[in-house]
Structure 1
Amino acid sequence: MINVGFYYRVKKGHEKEFEETFSKVLEYLKKNFPGFKDGKLYRSVSDPQEYLIYSEWENLEVFRQFVSSQAYRDTTSYGKTIIEGRPTHRVLQQVE
C-alpha cells in the first residue's frame, strides 16, 4: 500500500468550493479506480487556506494510472483557478 499527501494553498474565498470539489473527486475515485482505498481532507488549524489531501492506494501503479488519466488532468486544470502557487505531493510506501 502507498499513501500520498497532496498539499494545497487555496485562494481566499474559495475554501468551501475546494472542499466541495474534494468530495466529488473522492466519490469519482471510489467508483472508477478500484485500487483507490480512501482519501481524507485536512485543513490547517493555523491557516484556513492550507489543506492536505491524504490518500491511500493499493500500489504505486494504480496511483500512476490516476495521475496519467484525463480525469486528473481535468481536475488539475480546474484547480489552477482556485489554488495559489504550485501544489506539492509526497508518496510514501508502507513498510511491512
Structure 2
Amino acid sequence: MINVGLYYRVKKGHEEDFEKAFQGVINFLKTFPGFIDAKLYRRVDDPQEYLIYSEWDSLDAFRRFISSREYKDTTEYGKSILEGMPKHKVLQEINT
C-alpha cells in the first residue's frame, strides 16, 4: 500500500470551490481500481492551505489515476483557483 500527500494552497475566496472539486474527484475515485480512501484536511492556522491524504493499493494504481483524463481535467481547473504549484509526496507503508 502507498499513501500520497497532495499539498495545495488555494487562492483566497476559492476555498469552497476547492472543497467541492475534491468531492467530485472522490466520487470518481470510488470506482477507480486500486483506490482505497482519501481525506481532505485544512490547515488550522492558514485556511488557504489543504492536504489531500490518499491511500492506494499500489504505486501503479496511483500512476494510472494521475494519467487519467479526469485527473488532467481537475488539474487544469485547479490552475484557476490555486496559488503556485501543488506539492505531492508519495510514501510506502513499511510492514514490520
Q: Which amino acid is the alignment partner of residue 3 of structure 2?
A: N
Indicate yes or no: 2:16 matched with 1:16. yes
Find the counterpart in structure 2 of residue 86 from structure 1: 85
Cα distance in 2, alignment partners of residues 68 and 25 from structure 1: 14
CA RMSD of aligned residues (A): 0.6
Cα distance in 2, alignment partners of residues 39 and 61 from structure 1: 17
Q: How far apart are residue 70 of structure 1 and its match? A: 1.0
Worse-matched range after superposition: 66-75 or 42-51 = 66-75
Q: Percent identity?
A: 65
Find the counterpart in structure 2 of residue 49 from structure 1: 48
1:50-69 superposed matches below 5 A:
50-69=49-68
Secondary structure in 2 aligned to 1:7?
Answer: strand
Cα distance in 2, alignment partners of residues 14 and 23 from structure 1: 14
Q: How far apart are residue 34 of structure 1 and its match? A: 2.0
Cα distance in 2, alignment partners of residues 75 and 17 from structure 1: 12
User: Which segments of 5 or more consecutive residues in structure 1 lack a partner in the other structure?
Assistant: none
User: Which segments of 5 or more consecutive residues in structure 2 lack a partner in the other structure?
Assistant: none
Find the counterpart in structure 2 of residue 28 from structure 1: 28
TM-score, reference length from structure 2? 0.97
Cα distance in 2, alignment partners of residues 77 and 7 from structure 1: 16
Q: Which amino acid is the alignment partner of residue 5 of structure 1?
A: G
Q: Which amino acid is the alignment partner of residue 80 of structure 1?
A: K
TM-score, reference length from structure 1? 0.97
Q: How far apart are residue 69 of structure 1 and its match? A: 1.1
- Give aligned pairs, total: 95
